[in-house]
Amino acid sequence: MDIRSSIQWAKAEIEKLPTELPWRGSVLTQILYCEAVEDGTESPDRLEQLTMGWIVMREMDGYEPDTLQKTVSAIQYELQQKRLPYAAKVRLGIHRRT
């Protein structure tokens, strides 16, 4: 997964959604934060608090194609795997045993 292109694609798709959706702003803000973390302009300190993957999966359940849901969830997972300390990964239940 190319995280940068995935973030750009997800951001563009979310921006196309109706602004009336109550969760759109929150998810877009989190995507922009992920972009800033990946660019190195923002600290990864708040990555553990991301909820965008869960929000999009819940709110867009049943929408086809499900590419946006899968991409947003993958962005959240990949950044958390890449940037969070092991203890945070354990708290989130995303730690990998090697």
DSSP string covering 17-41, please? S-TT-TTHHHHHHHHHHHHHHHHTS
pTM of the model: 0.90
Position 97 confidence tier, pLDDT thresholds 50, 70, 90: low
Position 98 confidence tier, pLDDT thresholds 50, 70, 90: low
Query: What is the DSSP-derived secondary structure letter of residue 62?
Result: T
Cis peptide upstream of residue 18 (ω within 30 degrees of 0) = no
- Tell me whether residue 75 is exposed, middle or buried, using C-beta atoms within 10 angstroms of its C-beta: 0 to 12, 13 to 18, 19 or more: buried
Query: What is the DSSP-derived secondary structure letter of residue 98?
Result: -
Q: Tell which residue, 46, 38, 41, 15, has the closest CA to residue 28.
A: 15
Which pLDDT score is estimated for 93?
86
User: What is the residue extent of each domain of the chain?
Assistant: 3-92
How do residues 27-83 score in pLDDT, each as one tens digit? 999 999 999 999 999 999 999 999 999 999 999 988 888 999 999 999 999 999 999
